[in-house]
Amino acid sequence: SRFAVLASGSGSNLQALLDAYPENVAVVGGDKRDAFAFERARRAGVPVVHLDPKDFPSRESFDRELAERIASYDVSLVVGAGYMRILSPVFLGRFPAVLNVHPSLLPAFRGLDAVGQALRAGVEETGVSVHFMVEEVDAGPVVAQEAVPVLKGDTKETLLKRLHPVEHRLLVGAVADYFRGGLDPEKFHSGKDFA
Ligand code: GRF
C-alpha cells in the first residue's frame, strides 16, 4: 500500500500522512523547488520528484513526465495535498486513483482560494472535502466531508487554522479507507473520465 503525495506548499497535509503512514509514502512530487513540503519529505527520508513547469512546453508534457517519475515508485494511489496545478487525464489515467483534499464543502467554492471565497460569501459554515480527482477540477466524487464553522471576525488565517486539523484527519482516514478497499474508484468513475 505505497502511495505518492503531490504538494506545492508548506505540506502540513503531507506531514499528517508522513506521521500516520511513515512506511507507505513512497515519493513526494511537486512543482515548486523550494516548497517546505519537500523539506518535510527529506527529513522523513522520502524521495522527492521536482519538475519545473517552465521546462515543459505543455501541461500534458509536464504531466506525462511527472506520471512517469511517480509511477516508477510503484504506487497504487496518488494523494494531492495542496498541489496547486491541475492534473490532466495524461496524469490521472496512469494511476488507479488520485485523491485530493479541498478546503470547502464541495461542490461549493471549487477552484482556487476556496477559503477566501467562503469568507467573501459570508457563509456561517464551510468545511473540508476529500474527493477523487477527475478531469473536471474539484468535481470528482466526494469520499469524506466535514463542516467547520466560520466565526465572526474570521480571517483567512484563523479559518485555515481551524480547517487544517480537519483536513489532516479526513485525508489520513480516506487513505486508510482506500487501502482497506472501502473506496473503490471504479464505483466512482467510468473509464471515460480518463480518456
Ligand atoms: C490546504 O488548505 C489544502 O486543502 C489546499 O491547500 C492547502 C495545502 O496546505 N489544497 P498544506 O501545504 O498541506 O499545509
ipTM: 0.95
CA contacts within 13 A on the Cβ side of 158: 8
CA angle at 73 for the pair 68 and 79, rounded to the nearest 5°: 85
Q: The whole model's pTM is what?
A: 0.93
Q: pLDDT tens digit string along 19-73? A: 999 999 999 999 999 999 999 999 999 999 999 999 999 999 999 999 999 999 9
87 is in an annotated binding site: yes
Q: pLDDT tens digit string along 94-151? A: 999 999 999 999 999 999 999 999 999 999 999 999 999 998 888 899 999 999 999 9
**128, 170 Cβ separation under 8 angstroms:** yes
Phi-psi region of 11 (alpha: psi -120 to 50; beta: other; left: phi over 0): left
Q: What's the 91 CA to ligand 1 centre distance in angstroms?
A: 20
Cross-strand pairs, 6: 29, 80
CA of 83, closest atom in ligand 1: 10
pLDDT at 182 over 90: no
Which has more pLDDT, 185 or 182? 182
Question: What integer pLDDT is reported at residue 22 of this predicted model?
Answer: 95
Query: Which member of 102, 164, 168, 189 is catalytic?
Result: 102
Helix 36-43 × helix 12-20 angle, to 10°:
20
CA angle at 194 for the pair 6 and 96, rounded to the nearest 5°: 55
Q: Which long-range contacts (CB under 8 A, 24 or more apart) does 58-64 make?
A: 59/85, 59/86, 59/88, 60/88, 60/90, 62/31, 63/87, 63/88, 63/90, 63/91, 64/90, 64/91
Q: What's the 10 CA to ligand 1 centre distance in angstroms?
A: 8
Confidence label for 181 from pLDDT (cuts 50, 70 and 90): confident
Question: What integer pLDDT is reported at residue 187 of this predicted model?
Answer: 61
How far out from the chain centre does Cα 13 lie?
8
* CA–CA gap between residue 123 and residue 151 (Å, rounded): 9
